[in-house]
Amino acid sequence: MKAKEIKVWDPLLRLFHWTLLGSFCAAWFSQGELFESLQDRLSGELLQEVHVWAGYAIAALLLFRLFWGFVGPRYARFSDFVRRPGETLAYLKAVLSWRAPRHLGHNPAGGAMIVILLLSLSLTIVSGLALYGADKGLGPLAGWLADAGEGMIDAIKETHELATNFTLLLVVGHLLGVVWESLLHRENLVRAMLTGRKRA
């Protein structure tokens, strides 16, 4: 018999999650050094356009998530999943010893991951916008950064790359967490983020 399922993730939250993934991949593939040989076969103008618009899309998504974290449904709210560091560490310990309790919404470790991911993505976006303004003289920050010198531009570029790599590291951690928790509680969390439903 099929176990009873209930709606946990609202449609906008799911749309946010997968659009964020798509935009992040688009931004990464279009300028990431790892994909240079692929990029060499594509138009440079197109890659630049894709990168910039993916960045703007992520910025809008981050603003939406911030807003949704305060006014969204129960499981989307920060108050539902942001826990004190001590509690989060205790939960992480329990997870590693294969004894963590199941949470219907985000568990404390997942909640911490969301917060760090949002911050890391924000830094990536802000540094990207700064680079766009300082180096190319384009975008909303161009007016402020028009006089930036080479040293400044290099520093912004470094920050943008560092923030991107840190975000990638977090994504790996996030994926490991999803697989680990899915195995631990015998449920498919990827499917839950697609359908919005979880076992009651």
Partner 1 sequence: MKKPIALSAAALVAIFSTFSGAATAADTASPAPAAVPMSTGTRAPATEISKEQAVEMALKAHPGEVTKVYQDTKKGKKTWEVKVLGKDGKRWELHYEIKSGALVSEESK
Residues that bind partner 1 (CB under 8 A): 10-12, 39-40, 43-45, 48, 52, 56, 59-60, 63-64, 67-68, 71-73, 135-140, 142-143, 146-147
Of residues 87 and 158, the one with the C-beta less far from partner 1 = 158
Of 172, 169, 149, 150, give the one whose Cα is nearest residue 161: 169
The nearest distance, CB 62 to partner 1, in angstroms, is 10
Of residues 37 and 97, the one with the C-beta less far from partner 1 = 37
Inter-CA distances, 25 with 55, 74, 81, Å: 11, 29, 26
The nearest distance, CB 47 to partner 1, in angstroms, is 8
Of residues 153 and 168, the one with the C-beta less far from partner 1 = 153
The nearest distance, CB 10 to partner 1, in angstroms, is 7
Residues 6+ positions from 160 with CB-CB distance below 8 Å: 124, 127, 128, 130, 131
The nearest distance, CB 101 to partner 1, in angstroms, is 27
Of residues 49 and 87, the one with the C-beta less far from partner 1 = 49
Of residues 85 and 147, the one with the C-beta less far from partner 1 = 147
- For residue 86, count other CB atoms closer than 10 A to its CB: 9
The nearest distance, CB 46 to partner 1, in angstroms, is 9
Check: CB of residue 47 under 8 Å from CB of residue 30.
yes
CA angle at 135 for the pair 134 and 138, rounded to the nearest 5°: 70
Place of tokens 């807003």: 67
